[in-house]
Structure 1
Amino acid sequence: MQAVSIHVVDVAHGVVAQGMRVDIARFKGEGWTDVASGKVGSNGVVDGIESRESLFEIGFYELRLHVAEYYRARGVKLPEPAFMGVQVFRFGLADMSQHYHLPVKLTPWGLSCFRGGA
């Protein structure tokens, strides 16, 4: 079973955030270690983490969303520095028999992320 899935929607434009870069890091020892990196596909799901349960184990993780890079690539004029350059969402995995779905809804000025039921 897939441990984690991530779905990102650009609610400012009413589309999935296709092409947005997303990184995942795990807290190990005294610091963060990169685990996976991918881009949001045409279906809104982050490519590169599906079918890779071995990447995940019980512990703390960071979801790193490259928000400013995504919006600038879409031609959105943002201030420098951008209000949200790389937005970080920390979450914990406590039970590897469960699926953790993280739906993200964002604009250049804010976001919502929670554990969904997909």
Structure 2
Amino acid sequence: MGKLTTHVLDTAHGRPGAGIKVELFVLTGDARRALLTTHTNSDGRCDAPLLQDDAFVAGEYELVFHAGDYFAASGVDLPEPRFVDRVVLRFGIADATSHYHVPLLVSPWAYSTYRGS
């Protein structure tokens, strides 16, 4: 069966994004339901898949990364309001038998993502 994983890379400092709060939501029409909240480990990854087995189904999802809090805690001098604060990635899972890896590359000024492997 498939699974959903993620990791965060701090591109401003060239290191894993450790200790970043990550929230996962499932979307149904206009409704948004929380599925889990976790934090990245010292390698910028979550210790377990965000979704797997019977919980991993096709649909629309949203990951919310609390990047602004991470950079503030790292001592970065940030403007108020923060330019990059919570990074919201909305994506679809079409094939529940595949591995969907959704990494985040982030700095206080920019971010990007892609479907990884």
What TM-score does the superposition give when structure 1 sets the normalisation length?
A: 0.90
1:76 aligned residue: 76
Letter in 1 for 2:21: R
1:38·1:49 contact (CA, 8 Å) conserved in 2? no
| 2:26 aligned partner | 26
Say how many residue pairs are matched: 117
Name structure 1 gaps, 5 residues minimum. none
Distance 1:79 1:10, change over 3 A: same
For 2:36, the aligned partner's letter is: A
* Equivalence map 1:1-118=2 (5 Å): 1=1, 3-47=3-47, 49=49, 52-117=52-117
Tell me how far apart the structure 1 counterparts of residues 41 and 2 of structure 2 sit (CA, whole Å).
17
| TM-score, with structure 2 as normaliser | 0.90
> CA separation of 1:79/1:55 partners in 2, compared to 1, >3 Å: closer, same or farther?
farther
Structure 1 counterpart SS, 2:103: strand
1:110 partner letter: A
Partners of 1:114 and 1:91 lie apart in 2 by 10
Provide runs of 4+ in structure 1 moved above 4 Å. none
Aligned residues of 2:25 and 2:34 also touching (Cα < 8 A)? yes
Structure 2 residue runs without a partner (length 5+): none
